[in-house]
Amino acid sequence: MRLSLLPSAQWTACFVLLSVLCSLFTPAVSVKYENFKTCDQSGFCKRNRAYADRAGQLGSSFESPYQIAPESLSWKNGQLQGVILKTIDAAGETVRLPLTISFLASGSARVVIDEEKRQKGEIELRHNSIARKERYNEAESWAIVGGLDLSTTAKEERDATKSIVKYGPDGQFEAVVTFAPFGIDFKRGDATHVKLNDRGLLNMEHWRPKVEKAEPKEGEETPVQVQQGEDESTWWDESFGGATDSKPRGPESVALDITFPGYDHVYGIPEHAGPLSLKETRGGSGHHTDPYRLYNADVFEYIMDSPMTLYGAIPFMQAHKKDSTVGVFWLNAAETWIDIIKEKESHNPLSLGIGSKIDTKTHWISESGLIDVFVFLGPTPKDVTKAYGELTGYSQLPQEFAIAYHQCRWNYITDEDVKDVDRKMTKYQIPYDVIWLDIEYTDDRKYFTWDPLTFPDPIGMLKQLDQSDRKLVAIIDPHIKKKDGYHVVDEMTKKDLAVHNKEGKPYEGWCWPGSSYWVDCFNPAAISWWKTLFPYSAFKGSAENLFIWNDMNEPSVFNGPETTMPKDNLHHGNWEHRDVHNLNGLTFHNATYQALLSRKKGELRRPFILTRSFYAGSQRLGAMWTGDNQANWDHLAAAFPMILNNGIAGFPFAGADVGGFFGNPEKDLLTRWYQAGAFYPFFRGHAHIDTRRREPYLAGEPYTGIITRALRLRYSLLPSWYTAFHEASVDGTPIIRPHYFEYPSDEQGFAIDDQFFIGSTGLLAHPVVTQGADSVEIYIPDDELYYDYFDYTPYSGQGKHTMSAPLDKIPLLMQGGHIFPRKDRPRRSSGLMKFDPYTLVIVLGKDGTAKGELYVDDGDSFEYEQGAYIHRVFQYSNDILESKNIGTKGKLTDKYLKSMKDVVVERIIIVGAPASWTGKSSLKGGEELEYHAAEGGKAAWATVKKPGVKIGEDWKIDFSVSHDEV
Ligand code: NOJ
């Protein structure tokens, strides 16, 4: 053959070329699209999109068939109630839809639409189904924990066509409820900010009996359809991937359009892998073609920049424009799709080109349940997040160890392996707090047991960890192995606490243990039973330093439709799985939370539980992570937008698998990932069972050293992180904050999602997430002074700045005007740092002042609820640094302060120190001052060592320099 005549060099060249070509065409690991529905394959999504298309085509001749019956309206105690009539045929037949609009004392409004026939149970179910007939109305009992008090000041006025309600702070908000067609405009001041049913896409698929149509005989005409144009093919049953959903209640979807006039950015509705500022889903440049989907699922090898569903769902959206933020919360736990389009402002046809305004138009579509939507009118992002948190609860104040570093992999294979990793981390002086056990620790995947061969001595292992105040997290999943003699499954089936199939028998599916049942945590009896499994005496081999990981709780069912449960499965109360699917993960997480609270009588410690699946309200129960990512740069880059989005949707205790779950990261990727992970609120390294070991000490130098420095940075800043967690726990403010949240007027920052602020510290981080990058463009939003965290290089001027970022450097700026606390003594774990002295970093602002906070408590118990904490504000102005108490005294304050009486500030660093300190070596009060003049492009800075002040006390330090030296 001619080819064989090629000289060997040419052979090599050919081979190289071939390999390059192969690598180009080797398909990237990618999601199995065919396992998950597109909107077109989801009957109700397709029907509602078609409805929207018809409305769009008809334009002004389209009229929504929903009208309020004015005579039905009544106003009482901040609530407007009545009936919406849906006209369903040309003869004018109507369906009654009870409507309740509640105006809440908090300033939020809630609109609930139900269906009378289903409410009263006056419908017939097909296939002898035993499912509930009503539309699911219990989402509230899982998601909402407060904030429902009705306004006592809201006032209603009505005329023949509309009702106008003034409500909110100082009556500044207004809801204009139009009767025909039904719609609501929510106004703040003179402007409308949120419109419901503006496009007429409100759709409540009412109950109807199935009319069996005889097949037309040959030669006969097909009978004319009553509801012309409606696609009935998916009304009565629906098949996907070989499974058929029996749909005993027929079509029952709900949909509503929500328009944000003049708003060009919308954020939230996690969980999706894509940018913080959500993309259009129909038209527009770079748009998605499917709506954003919320249907919690175990999406294996998920892809980037996609509206595909992932493991969790929070149907809460913020809309933002210059100086105004509003939000909506769609309280529905069924499968949901959200279309987003952006259009030039409709009421201003001349506003083309520069300066023109955008309307963001959204279309919310759920498979079943109520229309239950909350509207928040802001005006700031903080107001919206706070109002949402009043309803669904604020983020749990976690155990302090939980915000330190977690070392995980699937799997540490024996208890000796765990102890060995623990020893090595100590040997290499790499701090970590928690080591994790994945499913292989169990005896044959039976949770609450240990593999007797590989984990013969769990208590010995826990004891070794405890010597360094370290913890263990063990995985417990919701699928319970079907195995005779396994006490957990025996008890569960005997007590009938598993999820049922459509016939009302325990549902059997396939997961890690093989054939399994799923505990039904919607059932209060199941929660009570679940609690009995966790006491140290019941879960043998567990101890005080063992905490829990809840995985696979979407639930993941390997042989189920879309890797989850059939929708016609039944939960407690005979609610169909369809109605509650997105809540499932929360209920399991909740049961484990309750269980950890009751492990030992009299022991009241904060539970720590990581969950994969979540819903609105899960933030009260622990942390989440972004599931099975991949060891590549795209996934590293995707994590921050995802975590930021979770944060603004009220669940900020979020992180991504550091290093990437699937695949083996190159060392530079692993190193950059640790540098990024040091800024995840939840910071855990994790890896798939088939990957190579990658504990930080294995990387070798310079990587191990760089990773260790990133970890130490996290540990030194733990007091600042914990203060940010406290803030999130009282008002919902995200822990890492996107630009628009901190600078709501700065339009240039609205889409930025690769840098963020940490709490209120003024620390602005832009970790490197691109391969080979040795610098980043960091965006400064104001004219304040900024300094490089590590070497005090000053940066200033609004706009982009290039920051050099070789592999050993994390781009991190300190914004002038802030004070933040640190602990600078490296230790094995955060627990060992508890009584370490503090360093305060004062970053002087342009005006020579600075301010910051510290919150600290025992990091473990609930005693902070009785005042056992220190909360201080530090202020620097006119040469005086002052520490003031901002806590509220409680029963346990004194006891706690006593325990902290020896904890001092050991060092104060002043960045941007005044030039007038040049040559001075002490402060007026005698404290030693070390001054470093500005040089080599670095700002001047100074330190005061051993200022002799205590962290729990009020004090002032006079920074005027010593008199005799002047
Ligand atoms: C799926 C989880 O996402 C992953 O983190 C875990 O390692 C495996 N389940 C095995 O439990």
Identify whether residues 554 and 591 lie together within a single domain.
Answer: yes
Report CA(438)–ligand 1 centroid distance (Å).
7
Report CA(148)–ligand 1 centroid distance (Å).
37
Identify whether residues 328 and 422 lie together within a single domain.
Answer: no
Q: What is the mean pLDDT of residues 683-694?
A: 98
Task: Write out the DSSP string of 900-948.
Answer: TTT-EEEEEEEET--GGGTT--BBTTS-BEEEE--BTTBPPEEEEEEEE
Whats the size of the chain, residue-wise? 966
Q: What is the mean pLDDT of residues 867-885?
A: 98
pLDDT interval class at 641 (50, 70, 90): very high
Tokens representing residue 254 in the block: 């709900």
| Given 433, 551, 742, 857, the catalytic residue | 551
Per the CB < 8 A criterion, the answer to whether 823 and 833 are in contact is yes
Task: Write out the DSSP string of 796-824.
Answer: ESSEEEEEE--TT---EEEETTEEEEE--
Per the CB < 8 A criterion, the answer to whether 939 and 792 are in contact is yes
In a domain, 492, yes or no: no
pLDDT tens for each residue of 131-159? 999 999 999 999 999 999 999 999 999 99
Burial 736-745 (b: 16+ CB within 10 A, else e): bbbbbbbbbe
User: Ligand 1 pocket test: which of 661, 686, 691 has the largest number of ligand atoms within 8 Å of its C-beta?
Assistant: 661
Atom of ligand 1 nearest to the CA of 438: 11
Q: In the chain, what is the greatest distance between 2 CA atoms, to the nearest angstrom?
A: 114
The two beta strands, 471-475 and 434-437, are: parallel
pLDDT interval class at 1 (50, 70, 90): very low
Report CA(321)–ligand 1 centroid distance (Å).
39
Per the CB < 8 A criterion, the answer to whether 909 and 946 are in contact is no
In a domain, 257, yes or no: yes
Identify whether residues 448 and 333 lie together within a single domain.
Answer: no
Query: In angstroms, what is the C-alpha Rg of the chain?
Result: 30
Per the CB < 8 A criterion, the answer to whether 822 and 693 are in contact is no
Report CA(345)–ligand 1 centroid distance (Å).
46
In a domain, 505, yes or no: no
- pLDDT score at 731: 95
Q: Is the CB of 95 under 6 A from ligand 1?
A: no
Domain count, the chain: 3
- pLDDT score at 211: 86
In a domain, 390, yes or no: no
Whose alpha carbon is nearest atom 4 of ligand 1?
628
The two beta strands, 183-188 and 173-178, are: antiparallel
Please state, in angstroms and rounded to a whole number, the distance separating the CA atoms of residues 742 and 250: 47
Q: How far is CA 22 from CA 11, 15, 77, 185, 665, in A?
A: 16, 10, 70, 57, 20
Q: Is the CB of 339 under 6 A from ligand 1?
A: no
**DSSP H helical ranges for 649-717:** 667-677, 703-716
Residue 858 designated active-site: no
In a domain, 601, yes or no: yes
Residue 79 three-state SS: strand
Report the Cα 547 to chain-centroid distance in Å: 21
Atom of ligand 1 nearest to the CA of 556: 1
The one-letter code for the residue type at 879 is D
Of 698, 719, 740, the residue at which a domain comes to its end is: 719
Report CA(274)–ligand 1 centroid distance (Å).
22
Residue 551 designated active-site: yes
Instruction: State pTM to two decimals.
Output: 0.95
Report the Cα 449 to chain-centroid distance in Å: 31
Question: Which range of residues forms the domain containing residue 460?
Answer: 406-478+523-568+575-719
pLDDT interval class at 39 (50, 70, 90): very high
- pLDDT score at 215: 64
Identify whether residues 368 and 465 lie together within a single domain.
Answer: no
Identify whether residues 342 and 461 lie together within a single domain.
Answer: no
Please state, in angstroms and rounded to a whole number, the distance separating the CA atoms of residues 402 and 434: 8
pLDDT interval class at 357 (50, 70, 90): confident
Of 719, 737, 760, the residue at which a domain comes to its end is: 719
Task: Write out the DSSP string of 365-388.
Answer: EESSS-EEEEEE--SSHHHHHHHH
Identify whether residues 877 and 929 lie together within a single domain.
Answer: yes
Identify whether residues 410 and 264 lie together within a single domain.
Answer: no
The one-letter code for the residue type at 651 is F
The one-letter code for the residue type at 215 is E
Report CA(478)–ligand 1 centroid distance (Å).
13
Identify whether residues 330 and 437 lie together within a single domain.
Answer: no
Residue 156 is part of a domain; what is its CATH number?
2.60.40
Q: Is the CB of 438 under 6 A from ligand 1?
A: yes
Atom of ligand 1 nearest to the CA of 657: 5
Identify whether residues 471 and 601 lie together within a single domain.
Answer: yes
755 vs 21 pLDDT, higher one: 755
Identify whether residues 363 and 426 lie together within a single domain.
Answer: no
- pLDDT score at 300: 84
961 vs 421 pLDDT, higher one: 421
| pLDDT exceeds 80 at position 12 | no
| Given 554, 568, 579, 857, the catalytic residue | 554
Neighbour tally for 901: CB within 10 Å: 13
Report the Cα 434 to chain-centroid distance in Å: 22
| pLDDT exceeds 60 at position 351 | no
Identify whether residues 52 and 100 lie together within a single domain.
Answer: yes
Atom of ligand 1 nearest to the CA of 475: 11
Of 676, 692, 719, the residue at which a domain comes to its end is: 719
User: Ligand 1 pocket test: which of 407, 477, 552, 686 has the largest number of ligand atoms within 8 Å of its C-beta?
Assistant: 552
Residue 577 three-state SS: helix
pLDDT interval class at 964 (50, 70, 90): low
Cis peptide before 181 (omega within 30 of 0): yes
Q: What is the mean pLDDT of residues 164-179?
A: 97
Q: Is the CB of 627 under 6 A from ligand 1?
A: yes
Q: Is the CB of 408 under 6 A from ligand 1?
A: no
Q: Is the CB of 551 under 6 A from ligand 1?
A: yes
In a domain, 733, yes or no: no
pLDDT tens for each residue of 694-735? 999 999 999 999 999 999 999 999 999 999 999 999 999 999
Residue 949 is part of a domain; what is its CATH number?
2.60.40.1180
Mean pLDDT, all residues of the chain:
94
Q: Is the CB of 439 under 6 A from ligand 1?
A: yes
| pLDDT exceeds 50 at position 804 | yes
Atom of ligand 1 nearest to the CA of 408: 7
User: Ligand 1 pocket test: which of 441, 625, 628 has the largest number of ligand atoms within 8 Å of its C-beta?
Assistant: 628
Atom of ligand 1 nearest to the CA of 628: 3
Identify whether residues 554 and 594 lie together within a single domain.
Answer: yes
Q: Which helix (H) or strand (E) holds 740?
A: helix 739-742
Report CA(551)–ligand 1 centroid distance (Å).
7
Atom of ligand 1 nearest to the CA of 688: 7
Cis peptide before 271 (omega within 30 of 0): yes
Residue 582 is part of a domain; what is its CATH number?
3.20.20.80
In a domain, 362, yes or no: yes
In a domain, 14, yes or no: no
Q: Is the CB of 628 under 6 A from ligand 1?
A: yes
Please state, in angstroms and rounded to a whole number, the distance separating the CA atoms of residues 11 and 3: 9
pLDDT tens for each residue of 587-620? 999 999 999 999 999 989 999 999 999 999 999 9
Per the CB < 8 A criterion, the answer to whether 784 and 816 are in contact is yes
Please state, in angstroms and rounded to a whole number, the distance separating the CA atoms of residues 14 and 362: 53
| pLDDT exceeds 60 at position 353 | no
pLDDT tens for each residue of 880-912? 999 999 999 999 999 999 999 999 999 999 999
pLDDT tens for each residue of 189-246? 999 999 999 999 999 999 999 987 766 666 665 544 434 457 899 999 999 989 999 9
